[in-house]
Structure 1
Amino acid sequence: MNETMVCAVGRVATQPVYREMASGPSARFRLAVTARYWDREKNTWADGHTNFFTVWANRQLATNTAASLTVGEPVIVQGRLKVRTDVREGQSWTSADIDAVSIGHDLAWGTSAFRRVAKAETATAPTRPEPNWETPQDGSLGSADAQAQDQAEPAVLT
């Protein structure tokens, strides 16, 4: 509900790692985001601090990410920010992850050719039965319809 949504503009720092999980495809890569500022003394642009985020993509976004991104490419990532802290072997560490909703090339730096994925290419992805959206006259759900409704993703209201 109260998630922190971010939009990060940076470069792909590591080659995306693609995995087939029980819950569906998953991919992750590191995103480098470097602040730029105008240095008045040198009269030129300079690099500031670089932040690194681990970007996680799931389902079709994971498949498309693995097929589309390579190291060094400029990208824009939108998603949920998750900051975690932990202590392992006496060492304290913090990680900043982005659970991606959308990933795309930053067209300020070059061109990109969009290609819609054909259904045949996504046939390996697990499929769920289509729920019956019509409510029966008596208001009850058959067992197949109830199971399909339980598996359906919640609707997003805008």
Structure 2
Amino acid sequence: MPDTITVTGLVATTPRHLVTSDGLPITSFRLCSTLRRYDRAENKWVDADTNWYTVTTFRQLATNVVGSVAKGQRVVVTGRLRVREWATEDKHGTNVEIDADALGHDLSWGTAVFSRTVAASAAAEATQSGETAGHADAGDASEAVGDGDAEPGDELAAARAQRATEAALPF
């Protein structure tokens, strides 16, 4: 059974994104996490040791991470922990890796704006049924409802457009 871990920390390297020959998107970066505690004797905050992790994301999460996360930002990562020993002729060590299931900005340190992505299959289905990928319909719906001089039937059309937009989204 894999160990699940949640870590808060600082993105220490620029996220590296690649797509395998099979079309699998992968994004990885190094994450540092330092425990801070208040030392009452010295009347100040002190840092403990820093833990280093390699965070790896796959599929849609990898695509979203490369477009959302940058070096120096504080994040929260949840995923499967893997600890691996390694050795070469003259060195040896331990790699601590997290295969991320979820990742987001740590809102204890700032604010973020969320933009929902539309899966490629849902966008293709919406296009085939004569709709757009969802963003234009949502905008049209809000404009129709927001107009003071809208026709009585526009509200019904706006509600239908909103439902079609939500149906095209992956979850």
Distance 1:59 1:70 in 2: 18
Q: Aligned residue for 1:94?
A: 94
Amino acid at match of 1:24: L
How much has 1:23 moved relative to structure 2?
Answer: 5.1
Long gaps (5+) in structure 2: 124-171
Length-normalised TM-score, structure 2: 0.68
CA distance in 2, matches of 1:46, 1:26: 36
How many angstroms apart in 2 are the aligned matches of 1:119 and 1:49?
40
- 1:3 counterpart = 2:7: no
1:52 correspondence with 2:56: no
Counterpart residue number, 2:15:
16
Bigger helix fraction? 2
TM-score (norm 1): 0.73
* Separation in 2, partners of 1:23, 1:98: 22
Aligned pair count? 122
Amino acid at match of 1:54: T
Q: Helix, strand or coil: the match of 2:51?
A: strand
Distance 1:42 1:93 in 2: 35
Report percent identity of matched pairs: 42
Higher RCO (CA-CA < 8 Å; seq separation 6+): 1
- Runs of 4 or more, structure 1, over 4 Å off, are none
Shift in Å, 1:38: 1.0
Larger radius of gyration: 2
Report the residue type matching 2:63 in the other structure.
Answer: T
Offset, 1:118: 3.1
